[in-house]
Amino acid sequence: MSNKTISSEGATAIYQPDAVFVEEGCKDYPFAQKILSGLSNVPVYEIQDAGELEKQFKTSQPDVFGEGKKNLVLSRFNGSFLKKCPGASPGMVCCNYYVVNLSKNCIYDCSYCFLQDFLNNNPLQVAYVNVEDLFRELEEVFTQHPDRAFRVGTGEITDSLALDCLVPYSQMLIPFFNKQKNAVLELKTKSDRVENLLNQPDPTNVIVSWSINPQQVIDLEEKGTPDLEKRLHAASLCVEKGYRVGFHLDPIILIPGWEKAYKELVDTLFDFIPASNMEWVSLGSFRYRSSLKPIIKSRHPETLLFTGEHLPGKDGKFRYLRPLRNNAYETIRGFLQDKSKEMSIYLCMETKEIWEDVTGKTPRSDEKLDMFFDL
């Protein structure tokens, strides 16, 4: 264990929106008031309907998705918060992951991000303030299924921590999940803003996981994100605080010289975090729907995402050819196992055949991951 002081000094700057729009009926929510109290220098506008604002915004901006990130909307979420992860696609192995969408859009601008397509008609940065409704729903579901293990993440259509200094969901989520006997919370992020996590007294039921890539990939494809060492430093602070941590090497991007780049990534990871403190490492390859490709090429003309050959899979998403994916997974998995034979490594959104090619087994053969995976 390192002897670094638990501090977030040197972390990236806190996001400040150009404007905040508060939907009718939302201003009196305690969480909305908490957010607004930290934005005293930002203009605030009350609106009747966020959907109408998004329509107006879409017709007035050349880069709708990019400009949308600069405006924060406080809204109320109607419907069920808890959903099964969409990774349960045809032909893919699912890890029984559940997602809670508390926010929409992301302040970062990664070239491969599916939100560029998914949120094209809803481009603004949205935070839902009716967290009391979320907790009532989760309490009911967890109580109704006491024998089921729930792994719940908040990072499906946003980054779990990038806005946490301004929109501090973690301050409420962590104490709530620490009371649960059959649920863990995963905060998945590229951020290094972990101040709120370090101030929590109990990290028992929380896993903080980082999406990481070689620095060359970060520089080219993950615009606006903290660099690799800043992410890993933040992870080391969370380990010192007692959090369990995980890492997602996803999406793996086969840039020229990728073997050397990912070997250096694994070496750097273990320089910061001992294997005994890693809950798991996941591997996933770059994948996309056909509708996303022209958006990426238009918004990120310098990208190297499409230098390799891709084919559609059973779920309709394009991926590197199977031999290329197999080779990448086997190579990077080998780098990780050279560091630790005991590490839990799983593949994200891959077929049973790929699992067996790469590992010689299925997820059901791994006791640590068995409670999550469904074949």
Q: How many domains does the chain have?
A: 1
Distance CA 34, CA 335 (A): 45
How far apart are the two ends of the chain, measured CA to CA in Å?
37
pLDDT, one tens digit per residue, over 168-208 is: 999 999 999 999 999 999 999 999 999 999 999 999 999 99
Give a yes or no: residue 375 inside a domain. no
Q: Is pLDDT above 60 for 267?
A: yes
Q: Which domain holds residue 99?
A: 19-370
d(CA 292, CA 110): 13
Give the lowest-confidence range in 90-94, 161-165, 269-273, 350-354. Answer: 90-94
What pTM does this model have?
A: 0.90
What CATH number is attached to the domain comprising 328? 3.80.30.30
Antiparallel, parallel or unpaired: β 310-312 and 318-320: antiparallel
Q: Is residue 254 exposed (0-12), middle (13-18) or buried (19+ Cβ within 10 Å)?
A: buried
Give the model's confidence band at 92: pLDDT under 50 very low, under 70 low, under 90 confident, else very high.
Answer: low
Q: 5 in a domain, yes or no?
A: no
Q: CA 98 from chain center: how many Å? A: 13
Residue 209 has φ and ψ, to the nearest 5°, of -125, 145
pLDDT of residue 56: 82
* pLDDT value at 364 more than 50: no
Question: Does residue 107 lie in a domain region?
Answer: yes
In a domain, 316, yes or no: yes
Residue 167 inside a domain? The answer is yes
In a domain, 364, yes or no: yes
Looking at the domain assignment, is residue 281 inside a domain?
yes
The average pLDDT across 45-53 equals: 89
